[in-house]
Amino acid sequence: MIDLTENNSTYQLDNIDFRILKLLQKNSDITTKELAVKVNLSTTPVFERVKKLEKRGYIKKYVAVLDAEKLEKGLTVFCNITLKEHTREIGNRFVKDILSLKEVVACYNVSGDYDFLMKVLVKDMKHYQDFVLNHLGSIKNIGSAHSTFVMGEIKNTYEVPI
């Protein structure tokens, strides 16, 4: 059980909450009725639990997971970025610029040899070259960019292990 203090009140996630979260992250289209059957409760308490989980931020949003290959975005590239300088202004500007690039589907500020790790989806190598030259290359203060190309996907999940 996880105890959380929120607005001077404690809320505890119990086994049913965890089961609901596991079921929802496997299939967010599951109906309240189906959820209720799987967790052995009636629909009203399950509906109320889901609303509490949403309100408290355990459930951020519901999405459809699309097939990148079918949408001609089948090349996945991980790009490590190092900035030339490290100031708040430069970092904030870099983040703002990256947020505007639709090809960048994930970006992490990391420790180690690089400052950022980006996941980029494009159609093919030609489109990645265009992305690097015309989009990434226009961002000021990038010292270096090192690309790793995905040859095959072994595991890709959006599930949080609970």
- pLDDT per residue over 31-80, tens digit each? 999 999 999 999 999 999 999 999 999 999 999 999 999 999 999 999 99
Which residue ranges does the chain devote to CATH 3.30.70.920? 75-149
- Dihedral of CA atoms 27, 32, 38, 43 in degrees, nearest 10, equals 170
At 10, is the pLDDT very low, low, confident or very high (cuts 50, 70, 90)? low
- Report how far residue 147's alpha carbon sits from residue 120's, in angstroms, rounded to the nearest whole number: 10
Architecture of domain 75-149: 2-Layer Sandwich (3.30)
Strands (E), 1-155: 2-6, 9-13, 75-83, 104-109, 116-122, 142-149
- pLDDT per residue over 74-119, tens digit each? 999 999 999 999 999 999 999 999 999 999 999 999 999 999 999 9
Q: Are 25 and 63 in contact (CB under 8 A)?
A: no
CATH of 2-55, one of 2.60.120.380, 3.30.2010.30, 1.10.10.10, 3.40.605.10: 1.10.10.10
Which residue ranges does the chain devote to CATH 1.10.10.10? 2-55
- Report how far residue 21's alpha carbon sits from residue 58's, in angstroms, rounded to the nearest whole number: 8
Q: Are 117 and 69 in contact (CB under 8 A)?
A: no
Coil, helix or strand at residue 62: coil
